[in-house]
Amino acid sequence: MSDAWVATDALGRKLPDHAEVGAPRPDRTVAMFYWTWHIGGTADLGPANVNEVVTRHPEAVNDYNHPAWKELGPIVGHHWNEPLFGYYRGTDPWVCRKHAEMLADAGVDVVVFDCTNGTFTWKEAYDVLGEVWSAARRDGVRTPQFAFLCPFAPHDDSRVNITKIYEDVYKPGRFKDLWFHWKGKPLLMGYPDNLPEPIRSFFTFRPGQPDYRRGPSRPDHWGWLEVVPQHGYVELSPGRFEQVTVGVSQNATDVLAPAAMNDPKGSYGRSYTKAHGFSTDPRDVGRGLNFQEQWDHALKMDPELIFVTGWNEWIAGRYKEWQGTENAFPDEFDNEHSRDIEPMKGGFGDNYYCQLVANVRRYKGVRSAPPTSAPTTIEIDGRFDSWDQVQPEFRHHKGSTMHRDHRGYGKTHYQDSSGRNDFVAAKAARDANNLYFYVETAEPITAPTGPGWMTLLIDVDRDKSTGWEGYDYAVNRLAPAGSEAIMERSRQGWNWSAVGKVAFRVEGNRMELGIPRTLLGLPSNGPLNFEFKWTDNVPSSGDILDFYLHGDVAPSGRFNYRYSEEI
């Protein structure tokens, strides 16, 4: 039940819950534009970070011959900045698995692969993704399904492109569990006009409209990116549509679309809105103003499907001149002029991911959080039978401790073997004087060696301004001694001091512990409404984004479980 998980992002924005957005609406679908092109010759070079270049050399923005560009060498794909997962290749199984979990947790139903460039289909990458996502589904992850967006006209390249995809994926039935169906057939965002049978009858075709302002010019058109106010596509009845687009930003100006992202006249970056124009506050780049304006319009239109651009484009070519801009970067440029939601390293981190989750919930609704069972006293004895009747049970993805060892862009190589104890379930209980916690892993729990072993974090007041990232208490942040775990309190930020010891027991793949209410500053029998999280083998860095990168956490990333007697 990831839609019942709670979170507060770096800007203090809380995710909406059932009381705010209502019950799930199963007839609403979210599609995410997704790039598989981080492979081959493009990825053999670099990486080249454009934001770093123009920060050091602002005079180089529109100077094709500036030495700063020549120092990068013969780069094909320039990154607007560094992804949180590094300059990864699309064939990295660890990254594919992370994407599967993050998009599933966000409520995304389908990813649409960008195959709009000539006859390129990026088969090497979608093969790996298909295998990894199918395995994730076997682990219980509700991964998105997939579809393809092919060239924006019925020309020879489009015919070759679609035929290759059909012959490789659909005709032999590969990854069939991942096919996204629309109106009774697999969806393909491409033009059927020049295709032979049986391809023409196999898909539901929704040709892509490339223009950002024109709207549909044929009745089956779908959009991929537009400026506000976005059009509705495929009218079902007056004012009701199949599809509306939502974009993070747009490579468009007041007079030109598409335009280079570094057009000196000003393209519509992350902090631009139609309502207020270009922002002069540098902090607004991380606030998602453009993104939210687009979401607000789409939510009012309330179509059957919202198409979001995009997840992980990251790179763009550099051209001497394009659309009237010298030293042009067509699609991505820097922190402001980029359109990826996937978290970045540093900068605005996971702000856009959290904003995505919030708006998906507003569009699709969420389940109500399950109520807590009656108070009960748990004996911390390693027998665990007292937990059988305790509800709710909080679930987490099995298989989220995959190790990483894969080449990235250029000479980069990424390794991580911190995945260890794989959380799959958790519970909490209470009586008049104590709180109790239970956690279960996929395999037997490792012996307690070093800091960060089987750590419990508690946000007792659900206030992000207190403690570290809202977490007021930590249990087992330091290695335990015997059958007692050290409990600490945050003295604000990553500054912890011990407040006592609590009993815990481990048996096989299960662990339980009990905490006196007095250690948490809670009155006896007082009503409870708190958040908690389990972590294992995450570095003690004080950076919450490490929850995406290392060890295992339950629930994922910045999410928490909520335990409340108010539900």
How do residues 279-310 score in pLDDT, each as one tens digit?
Answer: 999 999 999 999 999 999 999 999 999 999 99
User: Helix 93-106 and helix 351-364: axis angle, to 10°?
Assistant: 40
Average pLDDT over residues 377-397: 97
pLDDT of residue 333: 98
The answer to whether 460 and 475 have CB atoms below 8 angstroms apart is no
pLDDT of residue 525: 86
Question: DSSP string covering 308-353, please?
Answer: EE-S---EE--EEEETTEEEE-SS--SSSS----S-BSSTTTTHHH
Q: H-type helices in 274-427, by residue range?
A: 289-301, 351-364
Average pLDDT over residues 550-566: 97
Q: H-type helices in 194-331, by residue range?
A: 199-202, 289-301
Q: In angstroms, rounded to a whole number, what is the distance separating the alpha carbons of residues 25 and 3?
A: 12
Which strand (E) or helix (H) includes residue 99? helix 93-106
Residue 320 has pLDDT above 90, yes or no: yes
**Strands, E, within 402-555: which ranges?**
404-407, 413-416, 423-430, 434-441, 455-459, 473-475, 484-490, 496-507, 510-516, 529-536, 552-554
DSSP helix/strand/coil, 501: strand
pLDDT of residue 211: 96
Residue 393 has pLDDT above 80, yes or no: yes
DSSP helix/strand/coil, 233: strand
Residue 194 has pLDDT above 90, yes or no: yes
Burial environment of residue 379 by CB neighbours within 10 A (0 to 12, 13 to 18, 19 or more)? middle
Reported as a pLDDT band with limits 50, 70 and 90, residue 113 is very high
Residue 241 has pLDDT above 90, yes or no: yes
Residue 229 has pLDDT above 80, yes or no: yes
DSSP helix/strand/coil, 245: strand
Give the count of beta carbons closer than 10 Å to the beta carbon of residue 417: 12
pLDDT of residue 262: 98
Average pLDDT over residues 321-334: 97
Is the bond into 310 cis (omega within 30 degrees of 0)?
A: yes
Give the count of beta carbons closer than 10 Å to the beta carbon of residue 100: 26
Q: In angstroms, rounded to a whole number, what is the distance separating the alpha carbons of residues 552 and 423?
A: 7
- Measured in Å, how far apart are the chain's first and last C-alpha atoms? 15
**Residues 490-501: tens digit of each pLDDT:** 999 999 999 999
pLDDT of residue 360: 99
Q: In angstroms, rounded to a whole number, what is the distance separating the alpha carbons of residues 116 and 157?
A: 9
Reported as a pLDDT band with limits 50, 70 and 90, residue 32 is very high
Residue 64 structure tokens? 């094709």
The count of residues in the chain is 567
The answer to whether 286 and 375 have CB atoms below 8 angstroms apart is no
Q: In angstroms, rounded to a whole number, what is the distance separating the alpha carbons of residues 342 and 354?
A: 10
> Percent of the chain at pLDDT above 70?
100
pLDDT of residue 80: 98
Residue 567 has pLDDT above 80, yes or no: no
For 189, phi and psi rounded to 5 degrees?
A: -85, 85
pLDDT of residue 208: 98
Q: Is the dihedral of CA 344, 230, 184, 149 positive or negative?
A: negative
Residue 11 has pLDDT above 80, yes or no: yes
Average pLDDT over residues 387-404: 98
Burial environment of residue 296 by CB neighbours within 10 A (0 to 12, 13 to 18, 19 or more)? middle
Give the count of beta carbons closer than 10 Å to the beta carbon of residue 45: 17
pLDDT of residue 41: 84
Residue 117 has pLDDT above 90, yes or no: yes
Residue 526 has pLDDT above 90, yes or no: no
Average pLDDT over residues 48-72: 97
> Percent of the chain at pLDDT above 90?
96
For 413, phi and psi rounded to 5 degrees?
A: -145, 135
pLDDT of residue 323: 96
Considering the entire predicted model, what is its pTM? 0.97
Residue 130 has pLDDT above 80, yes or no: yes
DSSP helix/strand/coil, 458: strand
Mean pLDDT score across all residues of the chain: 97
